[in-house]
Structure 1
Amino acid sequence: MALPEEPVPPAVPSCPLPGKICHVAGQERPGSCCGMAMAGFRTSKYQLPEWHRRNARVFNQACTVGEEAQRGRAEAGHLRRHAAACAQRAQQHSKSTLGQRLQDIHFWRVELQKEVMELDAETNLLAAQKLRLERALDATEVPYGVVTDNLQCRERRQPPDLVIDEVERQLLKEADLIRNIRDLLKRTIIQATNQIRSNRIQKEFCELDWSDKVETYHIDDKCVSYNNDSTNIQSHPSSVKFEENASTPKTWAQFSHDNISSAEQEKLASVQLRSLIQNIIHDAAEDLRLQRATVNQAFHNHCRELDDAKLKLEQHLEQTLKDIGEEEANIVALKQAIRDKETYLKVAQTRLYDRSFRPNVELCKDEPQFRLVSEVEELTVFLEALKRKLMESEQCLKHLEETRMKLEKEIAVKANSISIDREKCLPFRIHYPVDLELASYKQ
């Protein structure tokens, strides 16, 4: 610790008793002389009391520094022991938590592996049922081309006319038993295909989760084996921070739980679908209900509805085209107005710019100056309003164009639907068979 600066001895005033002063000085400093010429001055040396006080301060400071050093050493020793104990406890606790974590990982790994095996077995069973469906579908080839042709033609309708309307329902009703079986088998095959795909996707999710668990288990098992004497430990200061996409124990467990739950749901859906397939294969026979007149009437009614809808769409298209023309003219007018106001603004700004060169006291905030500034502000407000209105008009024009394209597309869709129903389906229904033999098609 640095010692404080020694105080400068204060000047001694002139002594009224020079004889006494000389006597004291003579005792402290033999051989010196204190004449009248030295009156009012003191010697450069400290007085004895000052010397004692200074020594006392030095001793006190030395004692203080020593005590502080002793306290620091004691605190350092205590800190070393405390840090060593805490580090050992922390390492042991971390090892214990890693061990518990290994148990958790092992639990989920076993559960996932079990789920993967069960889901794979269920997928194989469903694939076998799907093969039965395909063979049953191959056995239902029928020569009923009228209904089949009608349905296939109407499948060429474009969205949004591709709907299950009254005509579609009546066509399905007039289909024979085998046709119903074929449609049902097709839908069921698609459903089985989708379910097999879902099973395999969920199995892949579980396998990926299981693979991650296996890799994580090996990593944490290796971490458990580390100790202070391990040779492959290194400093990784950056590893202390948490990754932004890191999961929490709750979300970690929930992720595996959700995978297993989804796998259970897919497995249950697969079991139910296999039961449904079994019922479909054994309960496929139904009575044929011919509704030729009803279907024809439904066709005529639907064609009238399509004609009305197409006419209304054409009227809306005509009005939209008119609105587009008016909006385009409005945009041209707005752009011209903006150019005109920009010219006005340039004039006002040029006047302000030229007036800024007025010399000396002539650079006055006079009435023209205020008026020009006000004019610029007004023109700026008008320009912003016109530009906003121009943007709104352009957006409105864009919406009108989109509406026009939608209407044209809808008109084309309606024309296509009318062509299919009136020119393809109805003429071919003249050859519709009156009765069908169903007995030979029953399973």
Structure 2
Amino acid sequence: MSSDIIVSPPYYDSIAAAHGDQEKSPPLEQDIPQVSSGSVTAGYRSAKYSPAEWFSNYQTILEQAGTNHHKAQNIKQKSRTLSQDTEAAALKTQAEGTRLLGERLQEIHYWKSELQRHIEHLQADTESLLMLKKRLERSLDSTETPYAIATDNLTCRARRLGAELVRDIVEEELVKEVDLIRSIQALLEKTAAQIVAQIKRNREAQQTLEMDWSDKCQAYSFDDASGRHSNMSPDTQQHPSSATMQEQVSTPSSWTQFTQDNLSKAMQEEQATNNLRMLVEQMLQDITDDLRVQCTRVDRAFSLRCEDLIEAKTQLEMKLVQTLEQIGSQERNIEALQQAIHNKEAPLRVAQSRLYLRSLRPNMELCRDQPQLSLEAEVKQIDATLESLKHKLSEARSSLSHLEESRMALQKDINCKTHSLFIEREKCMTYRKRYPTISALSGY
């Protein structure tokens, strides 16, 4: 039997051990038996328990073991229940997160599809505006031809001669055509600038949508990859800092509002593009109609002017023929008058000779007899006839001079009208056949 001092076993709290608390030993009980008195039994009786103490000690151990066993069973049961509950909660939370990720993917896909649709619309609108801009440029280029035609017509008509240089209906219509073409050119240039500005706004809106679409594609990829993660995924790892709230993050409402604002801006630009496209189409149709109507008016004025010139030229030519005939007749009349005057010279000489000879009669023979009176009357008659013939000859010569002046005026006017007719028909109207077609004026 050992003589060592027997002490109670260390105190172990199983509940504290289950919670990870550090083991603590209670203070030693101060129930060590007192050393027996007496020197004879000192080696056998010192530091020993009594039977009652021995029994109490192992009963205490048994009770403590039972208590610890009960506590261990309770903790194990609660641990199993807690494990099952946390496992179910974790699976439920994970399933809820997966469901929410799926819903989020559907939402992102919807907005991504809307963004893609409006991006395609903006791209198509921009392409249509670029084609419309080319049409405007071609239409603007095509207006140079009618402008050159109208200005050339005015320049050619400025070379008309004399009284033909008149501000007639043709010139008024040509001036209207030049003013119309200038206003149309200014309108086309202004509209082309509007189209360029609209193209710029469309591209800015498209760029904004493309950036939003790209961000949503990345977000969709991340959320899709997140939704595919499971407890068996080998590529998962711990990221403790990812659960902390990040600064400057959007809320679902601000996230939706941001995309809606971008789409609203895009739809505004789409509507503006559609309105501008309709406006330009109508404008091209209107300017084409206006130019063709004005061209028709100018052509009609040219035709009427040519008809007037032809009619006037015909009348002048007819009058010239009559004048030439009259000149010939007058020339013959002058010749006849001259001949008549010449024919009166002989009778006048005869009568004057007779009077002269009879004036030589002597003395009483110088009598104013009937022959003398007849001869004097004859001389007076011949003188009066000659005076009348000479007067008529002067009138005939004056008339011939006037007829010659009329002939020259008629010929000059005919030449002027022939020159004007050449300008109107050969220069102007022939050149106007190069007027652009309706399709060319419309920019096709």
**TM-score normalised by the shorter chain: which range applies?**
0.3 to 0.5
Q: Which one has a bigger Cα radius of gyration?
A: 2
TM-score (ref. length: structure 2):
0.43
TM-score (ref. length: structure 1):
0.43
